[in-house]
Every structure is written in structure tokens, then in C-alpha cells.
Structure 1
Amino acid sequence: MSITGVRGEERSDFTKAEGKRLRQRSLALLGSLLHPVRVRVYWTLLVVVISTAAQVAGPALLALGIDQGLTQVVQNHNWLPAQLIVGAYVITAITGSTMMAVYMRSSAVISQTVLIDLRERVFQHTQNLSMSFHENYTSGRVIARQTSDIEVLRELLDGGISNLFRGVLLMLFTAGALIALDPSSAVPLLVALIPCFYLTRWFSETSKKQFREARTFSARLIVQFVETMTGIRAVKAFRREERNEQSYAVAVDDYREANRKVIRLFGTYDPGLKVIGVFTLSAVLILGSFRVVNGVMDVGVLLAAVLYTRRFFEPMEELAMFYNSFQNASSALEKVSGMLEERATVTEPEDPIALAHPQGALDFNHVRFGYNEHTVVLPDLDLHIPAGQTIALVGTTGAGKSTLAKLVARFYDPTSGTVSLDGIDLRRLSNADLRNAVTMVTQESYLFSGTVAENIALGKPGATRDEIIAATTAVGAHDFIMRLPEGYDTDVNKRGGRLSAGQRQLLSFARAFIADPTVLILDEATASLDIPSERLVQRGLQTLLSDRTAIIIAHRLSTVAIADRVLVMEHGEIIEDGTPHDLIEGEGKFASLHTAWRDSLA
């Protein structure tokens, strides 16, 4: 065998193994969702069995009524058998309809219970995943999992699974009833199963790939739409509307083409089933007619055989539609289960060490870190920051400043070495203790929908209005808040869209300060402030940082002036360490940066 052939076989085996693993993972998720409602599921299936049996009894009762009840009326003027048969027919019809109503209500309860559980799982799991996941997994894909993928599952659960069970039961009961009524009439039906089997097999194998592609293109559409709307300011600023429209049109066309292939599949499969059904029904009718003429078969039995044959193929068409939903749902379930399979890289310790009275001393001991195995940001960092000290991190872009801050906030864990707070490895602290001790303010200054006061109180749930005002006054935000239409009760609108970038940053400062952390990290947090606002914040910082450890990352060297100590970083290493005054007076990197900054103001 050629090398190419061997590789092809290996790839085929891998694909099959991967497909099997995806199916097992999806079924495991579906099983865990159905487990809490398993009693109701069993009850619903029992209802379906009763309803289906009642429906299947109808044609047999019609045959009995025609061949037995009607004969008794004509020959003996005895109406009792006919009345009993009619009564039985009415009872089975009412029973079938009643059970169907019960089934629909019960299946709706199952569907909604499962979907609520799944939505909560996806939200909670996604929220608890580490920053490494969120920085690699686009927000559009996350939204697609929570919206379109779960919506597809809803369509399946709202009736698809129960309809499948009902359809299979109906076919089995119908075939069984036909064989019991007249085995000869069942022969054409059994023969018809052969082309049905091969047609369904072709449809199954072909549609798996095409439905998966359709889900993939659907997710790409959502991703592109979300990214465009999220970055609409950049779109407008750089006049990307036309280019975005072109790329979105390509995505739409890909999705349309994927759906066209799916529709073409159904355009072959569904008519194929109908053609097989028509030929089978014709065969039963023709053969039965000859037998009736020859006196071998009763008219009522022929009518029942025709009805059973027709009814046998009805659920097959429904099963084709179910398969549409099933394949869509399978692809969606694979994607949702895949995201739920993601594991946090930063985990809660099993036996955390309590941090009763944090002081704020930070230590980096031989810390090595990279965002992936190919890129090392911090090769071997040793650093001690005493409690209560304010340090400023400066350096060129990519020097490792923000990475250092993320390790202190434990957004990531070091590849090797330890980051400690008051001598305790951060990996040994509970998330609650760590979040109470360390607060990070970034340049993004994200605000949630709600009032100004509510956004500030996120730093300290239950904070009083006086505490909120004290925090905003300290950072210089109180005056502009009072000029808002409703002061502290002003709705900031979606993502703080009603406020300027500088105002949002001031509110994020107030939110961090009211949390009263032991360690405060400001990652380019003054970048969105104008000069007057920055001076107000600096005055507030000098007061509020006096008794806590602070790490300030800034390109504006004016912000560095309030620091006790300056660390200059380059390629993940600290190349200068000293007070702002000493470094300015020196001839190193910081001195040249300070000179360039001062010249830019001239």
C-alpha cells in the first residue's frame, strides 16, 4: 500500500473515531438534561403508546363493522353488534384525541424544563471559564451557542423526539395490525421496506455532512454580525461599511448554498417516499380487489388493508421532517456540548487557605509564562512588592506589563513558578478571597445597563448612597454625575453609551475604590481621560492609594509621578527599578522615555 493510502486510511479512522466521540458527548449531554424529568418522559411515552394503539384500532373496527355488524343488520336485523362496534370506535377516537392532548402538554413541559436547564448551564459555564477561553473564543460564537443552537434544540424537543417515538410505534402497530388482519396484504408492504431502507440510508449519510455545514455557516453569520455591531464605531471611523457588506454577502451566500443542498436532499427523499407509498398502496388495492372478486377476502378487510397501508407511510414522511430537525439539532448539540466540555485553566483550590487580614505584599518567584507554548512573555521573573507600595510599570508595548497584572489578578496562572499574596500562592486562595483582595481597572471601563449608582455599587453590593457619593467625590466624578438628568439615578444606557469615555472611566474608578481592595491594579486606566480629569483622578489616587498596594500601568508618564517605585520592563524582564526621581535623573530607559514625553508637551 502507498504512503498516501496509509495516510488516507489513518485520516478516515480518525474522522470516524472523532465522529463517534462527538455523538457520545452529545448523547451524554442530552441524557443528563433528560435525567431530572425522566419520570415525566416515561409517562409521556406511555401516553403516546396508548394514543397510537387507539388510532391503529380504528381501521380494524371499520372492517369488523362492515363485515360483521352490517351483515347482522341486513340478515338478522340485529343492530346490537353494529352499535357496539360504533361505540368502540368512538371510544378509541376519544381516547386517542385525549391522550394526544395530554402528550402535547407533557412534552411542552419537558421541552421547557430541559431548555431552561441548558440555557443556565451554558451561561454559568461560559461565565466561569477562564480568560484564556474568552480571549480565544469569539463573542459571536458564544452568542450562537446560546441563541441559534439552543433554538434548534427547542424545535427538536418541542415534539421531535416524541414524534419520532410516536411515528415508529405507529408504523410497528400498523404493520402488526395488518399482518394480524390479513397476512397476504402485508406482503407488498414488507417488499416496499427494501427501497425505503436504501433511500433512507442514502439520505442519512448524505445529510449529516450538509446539516453540519449549514450550522457552521449559520454560526459564521452570527459571528460577523455581532463583531460588526460591537465594533460599529470602528466601522464608521474607517468607512468599512462597504467591505463589511461584501464579506457579509459572501457569508449569506454560503449559508444559502448550504441550505439549498439540504432542501435538494428533501426534494429527492420526500417525493421518493411518496412514490414508494403510491405503488405499495396500488399493489394492495389491486391484489385485494382480485381476492374480493374471488370471494377470498371481505370488503371490510380490503378497506382496512388500504387504510393501514396508507397510514404506514404517513409517519415516514413525518420521520423525514424529524430527521431534518434531528440533524440540525445534532450539529447544534455537538457545538453546545463542545463548549460545555471546555475546562477552566484557572480553577478554585479544593482546600483553600483563608486570607483573613490581607496586607498586600506581592511576590513573583521564578515566574515563567506564555499565552501559548510557542511564545514566552515572562521568561523568569523575580519581584517583591512590599505591602502598601505603589509601583508604576512602564515600557514599550509587548514588554509584559499587562501580563504581570493579569497574573496578579489571577486571570491566568504562571506556567512555572509562583505568584504570592502575603506569602500565599494565589492558586491556594479561594476566588472569593482573591476577588475581595485584588481589584483590576482596565481601559475598557465597561458599564452595565442600569443607573449610575447601581454601576458603582457593583464594587460593594449593598453600599449606601453616602458611600457611593464618597467614592465618586474621591475620584472627581461627583460633579459631572450631579449634572446628569437624574444624577445618581440616571440610566447609563446600554454599555454606558450615554456617557463619554472619560466619564465611564471615572465611574469604573469609583466602582473599584468603593470595593476597598488590598491590591488595586490600574491597567492603562487613565488612557481615556482628558488632562483635567486625569489630574482630578491623580489627586484622588494619592489619597485612596495611601494604605494599599497598587500597580499602575501607564504610557502617560504624568501618571507615574504618584508612584513610590517605577519598574521598567522590556521583553518580560525588569531592566530598571527605582523611584521616579532617581530614574529621571539617570541615563536609562525611563529617563529617555520621560524626556520624549516632556518634549511632546512643548
Structure 2
Amino acid sequence: MLQEESDLAADWRGIAKEDDTVTGTGNLVLAGRSRRLLLDLVRPYRKQAVLTFVLILLDNAAKVSLPLFVAYGLDHGISQGRQGNWAPMVHTVVGFVAVTVCSGVTTFCFLRASGSLSQRVLFDLRVRAFQHTQKLSVAFHEKYTSGKVVTRLTSDIEALQELLEGALNEAFGAILSVVTIAILLVWLDPMLASIVLLGFVPLVLVTRWAQRRQRAGYRRTRGAIARVVVQFVEAMSGMRAVQAFRREARNQEVLGTEDAEYQRATTTAIRGIGDYVGLSNFIGKLTTVIVLLVGAWQVMEGNLAIGVLAAYLLYLDQFYGPLDELAQVFNSYQSAAAALEKISGVLEEEPSVAEPADPRSLEKATGAVRMDQVWFGYHDICVLPEFDLDIPAGQVVALVGATGAGKSTLAKLLTRFYDPSGGTITLDGVDLRRLVDAELRRHVVMVTQEAYLFSGTIADNIRLGRPDATDAEVAAAARAVGLDVFVDQLPDGYATDVRTRGGRLSAGQRQLVAFARVFLADPAVIVLDEATSSLDIPGERQVQHALETLLRDRTAVIIAHRLSTVAIADRVLVLDGGRIVEDGAPRELIAGQGRFAGLHAAWRDSLV
């Protein structure tokens, strides 16, 4: 239990290190990486993006022209109307209504177009991220917990969705409004415009300060929520162990710590945006008061028309209103930018086991396996030092040894979940690194201690290795390993839903489904990693019979602590420190005085 907590703590420390705030040059790299990813996602929809931009230009033009009609009506419509000429006022009203209708139509079209565009981009991102994580090697998934992957595909994409679906639309409109109105303010009255532009100096300084502060805050929130999700996923996945060892209080304590950090990080980010909004509003209102005072003085002096002052004040409201919107957008942008950095980081991960540049084809494998001068290590710790092994086609080899002897590492190398650090592993004389992954998986299959079943029917799970198999072929595979006796008793037969992770079936039944899956796939080489260690004696006997059928005429490597499984092997290898210390037929080794004979004697005594 202490070891489990230590490993979990180490994992969280690794996550915390990865999610630490990046500063300096790292900021620029991450920001650039995020922008490249976003542009790459939008590129296939360039035409729709251009249409969306045109619509927002038209919408912006309609909105910023409204105060000009007000100014024209006040300065010309009223004075001409007093003289009996109502044409200017009619033109003002008709123009105002027409522009308002145009603004409504363009806003409607823009929101529909931008919503469609954002959904397509998000869909592509989800698909790309999911496909990429599936392609990444086992080494990645062993260090990058499933909880963090879930966070990347849910919480982080939701942050980006909030930006694309609402905030980004507001940002485009706000930026265009600010630029357009700034030009109009200069055109209407340069002196008043100089006052407005002077107010921009402290506003820019405040924005830069808030940007740096918010970026760091939202990076903290993305890292904190990842740790919260990791704790949720691990607790839910290991609920049996949690309840069996009464770990609820400890889990609550750990979750409370991580959730409190997420709360603090989010609160800091919200306070930051509050400070920014408050300061920007203060600067905007102060500038408006100064413009009103100076403008009123100019009107009284006869240097400025009242309609122009009215339009100017309306424009100022439109000018600082978008700045308030930008402040809110800024909040969403910082959160989405931090999320996009995390997603782009996953997408830039490269598989440690790469597809071959010059692949070889192996149409029909016989199953001859050879390891020549193979060595392998984890993090500079050598596990297999210059390992040599020759397994003829059709031979069943059992690997025996203490924990840490290198058995599971050998299995991962044979199935190419890892590549050796040196030497070669061949199948029928072809280096495994020369076989494309799909072909390798067709010829070499691994069955683990936990026979993983996916949600769906028994037939669906048996078809995993051959999706095009017929119902008759599925039934034949089940019959070959003895699964049909159990399935025939079910009301829905092979259409029975196994539920999440095969929870409807016992451990032995799940293992038989896994064996039927392998039998149907018909590989040349089978690697069994502790495939019977979790079974009771009756279940083990049933699986043993299925194993004999499954392994007939196939090359197999069996890793087992239970020596009853070893009895069906043609050859036994005893490993110690990544080296073969004994090699021979089971009966020969049992009759001798070596390690396997001692292990077998101890196992036999345990059955008495």
C-alpha cells in the first residue's frame, strides 16, 4: 500500500512538473506551437473562414454607421424640417432602419457560419487527438496517465470550444469596431481623438500586465484540473481496491488537495480578469468625461456641431464597449491558449516505435523467432544485457523467474511494444522493425493477465482481431476453446452485452473470450503474459484445456508464475537478471538439481 501511494505521488509530481508555468523563450515556443495548430485546423475551411470574415466586416460597417445617421439627423434633419424640408429626416430614418436590418441579417448569418466553422474545427481536433494518442507507443501511455489523456480530450477542448463558439466571434467584432471607430473619431474631430488616443497609453500598459499575469494563471488551472481528473479516473477504475483497502478517506484527502489547488488557481485567474476589467473601465469612463467636457466647450464656442458631439459620445460608448468585451474574451483566450498548448504538446509526441521507412512483407508467417545480441534498458537501467534466443516455429516456450528477471520486458520486445536498444529480433528472418504495425499485429498477438473486453456483445469482442469474421467463424472459435458451453446458456447467446470492461463475465470467462479472439485471428506467434494468474483452480483447469487447443501448431511464449501452466510447454527458460540461467524440457529440468527443480518442488508442496 505504501508503495502504491509512493508511485502515485511520483506520478503526480511528474504531472506537476510537466504542467509548470513556462516562461521566457518557452512562452514564445508554446504560443507559436498553439497558433500553428489552430491555423492548421482552420486551413481546410479557408473559404468558410473568408465568408465568415466578410460577414463580420459587413456587420461592423453597418453598426459603426448608425451614429453618423444620428449626427446627420440632428444637424441637418431637424434644421431642414423647421423650414418644411423633411427629406433629410426621412433619409435619416430610412437609412437608420435599413442599416439596422442589414446589421441583424449579417449578425444572424455570421453566427451561423462561425458556429458551423468552430464545430468542424473542434471535431477535427478531437479526431486528430484521439487518433494520435492511439498511435503513440506503449511507452507514452505508461508515463502519460489515462486521466491526463481524458483531460486533453474533454476539459481542454471545451476551453477551446468556449473561445471558438462565442468569445472569438466577439473578439473579431470588437477589434474591427475599435479600429473603425478610431478612424472615424479622428475624421470627426482630431483634437477630441487625441484625448481618446492618449487614454490608450495606460490601457495598453494595463493590458500587457494582465496578459502576462493571466497566461501564468491559466496554465496553472490546466495543470490543476488534469491532476483532479487523474485522481477521479484512478479512483473510479480501482474502486474494488479502494473499497477493499478502505482507501476512501485517503482518496478524499488527495482529491481535496488537488481540487483546492484548482480552486486557488481559478480564483487567481478570475481576480486577474476582474482587476483588468475594473482598470480598463475606469480609464474608459475617465476619457469619456474629459471628451464630454472639452466637446461641450467647443460646442459653446461654436467650433463643433451638437450632432457631431452626440455622434462622438455614441462612438465612445461603442469604442469602450468592445474593449469591455475584449476583456471578457481575454479571459477565454488565456484559458483556451493554455489548453491548446497542452493539446499541441500531445500532438507533437512521436511514437517511440515508428513505422518502417522501408517495410518488408511477410505474407504467411511460420512463427520462427530469433533474438540476436538484444539488449534493452529503461531510463539507462539495463534490463536485458545482450540476450540471445532462438525459438523454432511451432515451439511453446515458458519463461520462469523471479519478479524483475526480465520476463515481461521480453514479452514487450517480442510484440514490439518497445524496440530493443541494440541487436535484432526477427520473425521468419525479417526484423520486426521492417514490418508495418498492422502486419506485425496479424502475425504476433499478446494475451495479458487482464483479458480486456470492450463494451458490446460477446461476438463483437471475439471479432476484435478479425472484424469481417462471420457468425459461423465466431462460433467455431468459441467452440474451439470451450467458450460455447457458457455462451449457449445465455438468453441472447453471442449477442449478450458484456457491459463495461466485461463486468458481466467472470475472470475465467473473460479469458476464454480473449482466447477465442486470438484463435479467430489465427496468429503465428502468441505471447501469454500471466494469462492464468488471476484464475481459481476450476477456472485455471478450464483455461488450461483451452490453451492446449489455442497453442497447437503455433509458436508461443508463456510467462507464468503458476507452474501448472508451464507443463504444456516444450521448453522452459529460467531467467535471472535478464539472462537465461537454465534452458531445457520441463521434465529434464524437474529431474535435475537446478532452480526450476527447486521451484517445481516448492509449488508441488504448496498443493499438499
Whole-angstrom CA distance in 1 between matches of 2:51 and 2:475: 58
1:20 corresponds to 2:28: yes
3-state SS of paired residue (1:161): helix
Read off the aligned partner of 1:322 and give its amino acid letter. V
What's 2:338 paired with? 331
Deviation larger for 120-129 or 18-27? 18-27
- Is the CA contact 2:512–2:546 (under 8 Å) kept in the aligned structure 1? no
Tell me the distance in 2 between the aligned counterparts of 1:153 and 1:423: 49
Matches within 5 A, 1:2-81: 15-74=23-82, 76-81=83-88
User: Matched residues, percent identical?
Assistant: 51
Give the aligned residue type for 1:451.
T
- Say which is worse superposed, 160-169 or 362-371, in terms of deviation: 160-169
Residue 189 (structure 1) aligns with: 196
**TM-score, normalization: structure 1?**
0.95
Q: The residue matched to 2:325 in structure 1 has which SS?
A: helix
Query: For 1:562 and 1:266, how far apart are their aligned partners in 2?
Result: 69
Is the CA contact 2:114–2:165 (under 8 Å) kept in the aligned structure 1? yes
Query: Contact 2:508/2:543 (CA < 8 Å) preserved in 1?
Result: no
- After superposition, the C-alpha distances for 1:409-451 in whole angstroms (9 at most, x for unaligned) are 1111100000000111001112222111111100110000101
Q: Which residue of 1 aligns with 2:473?
A: 467
Structure-1 separation of matches of 2:392 and 2:575? 19
TM-score for both structures, normalised by structure 2: 0.95
CA distance in 1, matches of 2:529, 2:222: 39
CA distance in 2, matches of 1:432, 1:261: 49
Aligned pair 1:452/2:458, yes or no?
Answer: yes
Deviation at 1:475, TM superposition (A): 2.0
Q: In the TM superposition, what are the counterparts of 1:221-370 in structure 2 within 5 Å?
A: 221-370=228-377
Structure 1 position 532, deviation (Å)? 2.2
Among residues 94, 97, 105, which one is paired with 1:98 in the alignment?
105
| Equivalent residues in 2 for 1:438-587, closer than 5 Å | 438-587=444-593
Is the counterpart of residue 404 in structure 1 residue 410 in structure 2? yes
Counterpart AA for 1:439: V
Tell me if the contact between 1:565 and 1:578 (Cα under 8 Å) persists in the aligned partners: yes
Shift of 1:275: 1.5
> Distance in 2 between the 1:123 and 1:543 partners?
37
Q: Where in structure 1 are there 5+ consecutive unaligned residues?
A: 1-13
What secondary structure sits across from 2:403 in the alignment?
Answer: coil
Letter of the structure 2 residue corresponding to residue 186 of structure 1 = A
Alpha-carbon offset, residue 15 of structure 1: 4.0
Determine the C-alpha separation between the residues in 1 that align with 2:534 and 2:508.
5
Q: In structure 2, how many angstroms separate the alpha carbons of the residues matched to 1:540 and 1:49?
A: 70
Quick check: 1:459–1:513 contact (8 Å CA) kept in 2? no
Amino acid at match of 1:61: F
User: Using the alignment, how far apart are the partners of 1:514 and 1:190 within structure 2?
Assistant: 75
Number of residue equivalences: 587
Q: Is the 8 A contact 1:130 1:411 kept in 2?
A: yes
Alpha-carbon offset, residue 309 of structure 1: 1.2
Q: How far 1:176 sits from its partner (Å)?
A: 1.3
Deviation at 1:165, TM superposition (A): 2.1
Instruction: Provide the rounded CA distance (Å) in 1 between the counterparts of 2:551 and 2:453.
Output: 23
* Pairwise CA distance, 1:160: 2.6
> 1:173 maps to what in 2?
180
What's the offset of the Cα at 1:469?
Answer: 2.4
Bigger drift between 475-484 and 391-400 goes to: 475-484
Quote the residue 1:148 is aligned against. Answer: 155
| Aligned equivalent of 1:588 | 594
Equivalent in the alignment of 2:144 = 137
Q: Could you tell me whether the CA contact under 8 Å between 2:459 and 2:494 is conserved in 1?
A: yes
Cα displacement (A) at 1:390: 0.7
The one-letter code of the counterpart of 1:477 is L
What RMSD, in angstroms, separates the aligned Cα atoms of the two structures? Answer: 1.3
Instruction: Give the aligned residue type for 2:92.
Output: I
Distance in structure 2 (CA, Å) of the matches to 1:269 and 1:470: 69
Residue 3 of structure 2 corresponds to: none
Whole-angstrom distance in 1 between the partners of 2:36 and 2:295: 49
Q: Residue 489 of structure 2 aligns to which amino acid in structure 1? A: R
Aligned to 1:121: 128
Amino acid at match of 1:32: D
- Partner Cα distance (1:106, 1:590) in 2: 71
Contact 1:280–1:309 (CA under 8 A) maintained in structure 2: no
- Residues 45 and 162 of structure 1 are in contact (CA less than 8 Å); yes or no, is this contact kept in structure 2? no
For 2:402 and 2:470, locate their aligned partners in 1 and report how far apart those are by CA, in whole Å: 41
Q: Is the CA contact 1:107–1:159 (under 8 Å) kept in the aligned structure 2?
A: no
Alpha-carbon distance between aligned partners in 2 of 1:172 and 1:15, rounded to the nearest angstrom: 31
Counterpart contact for 1:153–1:332, Cα < 8 Å: yes
Match of 2:210 in 1: 203
Q: Deviations over 1:348-395 (max 9, x none)?
A: 11221110221110000000011222x111011011000010111111
Most deviating of 582-591 and 293-302: 293-302
CA distance in 1, matches of 2:182, 2:561: 79
Structure 2: which 5+ runs fail to align? 1-21
Aligned AA (2:431): D
SS in 1 for 2:426: strand
Distance in 2, matches of 1:535 and 1:205, equals 65
SS of residue paired to 2:71: helix
CA distance in 2, matches of 1:359, 1:491: 36
> Per the alignment, in what secondary structure is the counterpart of residue 378 of structure 2?
coil
Contact 2:508 2:540 in 1 (8 A): no
Q: How far off is 1:472 after superposition?
A: 2.0
Please give the alpha-carbon distance, in whole angstroms, between the structure 2 residues aligned to 1:542 and 1:135.
32
What's the offset of the Cα at 1:546? Answer: 2.3
- 2:545 and 2:261 map into 1 onto residues whose CA distance is 56
**Equivalent in the alignment of 1:389:** 395
Deviations 1:480-513 (A, max 9, x none): 2223342221100111111122211111111111
Is structure 2 residue 96 aligned with structure 1 residue 89?
yes
One-letter code of the match for 1:37?
Y
Q: Secondary structure at the match of 1:370?
A: strand
State the distance in 2 between where 1:466 and 1:169 align: 65
Structure 2 counterpart of 1:423:
429
1:379 partner SS: strand
Q: Deviations over 1:260-305 (max 9, x none)?
A: 1112112211121222222112112222222222322222111111
Contact 1:360 1:422 in 2 (8 A): yes
Deviation for aligned residue 1:579: 0.3
Does the residue aligned with 2:455 lie in a helix, a strand or coil?
coil
C-alpha contact (below 8 Å) 1:392/1:565 kept by paired residues: yes
Q: Secondary structure at the match of 1:78?
A: coil
Work out whether residues 406 and 412 of structure 1, in 8 Å CA contact, stay in contact via their aligned partners in 2.
yes
